[in-house]
Structure 1
Amino acid sequence: MTKAILTDIEGTTSSLSFVHDTLFPYARARLPAWVAEHGGDLAQLLAWMDADAKVTELKDVQGRIWAAGYAAGELTGHVYPDAAEALRRWHGDGIKLAVFSSGSVAAQKLIFGHSDQGDLSPLFSGWFDTTTGPKREALSYLMIADALGVSPADMLFLSDIAAENDAAKAAGMRAMLIDREGGAGDIASFADIVL
């Protein structure tokens, strides 16, 4: 029985293009002013950004810039309608929902709290980022299951990255690969998921 569902964001609940074509350019354009006001190594932050590095310091700065953008109404988080519908249904059925993304917990809450599908943040019981551990290591998923108080065998993980799904499976979770282009994944949308 599925007691909890853990989901990735980018490419799973939200489009890759939203992150790469909206959020990253928004933060990059405002980074020099942020560094001038708050301090920091602009060259290092830009290098990490160019490399799409999963560095906590960069994710923190990006999150602060995005928070200001969401608060000003300049940003709206993208969430696929099928994902929002399924998340609401599963929450209503008493299934615990959680997020595990390489984006910071603060950035996760912003996307779901200011989404084009409404404020979805109250649906979630847990938020996890790479401070929990790497997404491609089974131990990270074991730690998340423990934090949620759910056996890994009673959890489903959703991601568009096969190596992440492999790590979740190695931890004892059920995992589904989503391919929104309808290619080699297990599912093409959240509507295809049978619990």
Structure 2
Amino acid sequence: MPDRPELARNAALVVIDVQRGFADPSWGRPNNPDAEANLARLLAAWADAGRPVVLVRHDSRTPGSPLAPGTAGNAFADVLDGVTGDLLVTKHVNSAFIGEPSLEAWLTERGIRQIVVCGIQTNMCVETTARMGGNLGFDVIVPMDATRTFDLAAPGGPSLTADELARATAVNLAGGGFARVVETASLV
């Protein structure tokens, strides 16, 4: 992992799905209890530097989902209290690039070519957004310690712990050339 990546003056912090519904026990055992504290450090650093912040909210269409619009779980978690962000993207799928309004268009219109992606779930929406960002030509940085995921089992198949999934995501992103994987301390 690079020790301290150079951040562009206008590097955007893309905060994925940090919503109250992810506290629901139905998700399973979470990893990284320090994710929100690291996210708070990133938000403070971005505010101090005057860099843009993009908030992404998952509006689930799955019946009974704790992330469904109109439910308490759809709201942002406490760590985002008072954070308005420069853009709010709502989505129904894993990638923030497939949401409303268009994240790609918003970044491009502002000449932003570097994004720092963090949030929930590491191996789902964070990884998918980072991969698409890399495919679209953005310089993507993922501070893994500012992400969180949950243990996951395939129906009738294998299961992985949240920590194993996070390690696999780090390998996929860095090894696949989609993103640079770092720790929060290297960005603040």
Q: Normalized per residue, which structure has more strand? A: 2
Q: Which has the higher helix share?
A: 1
- Max radius of gyration: which structure? 1
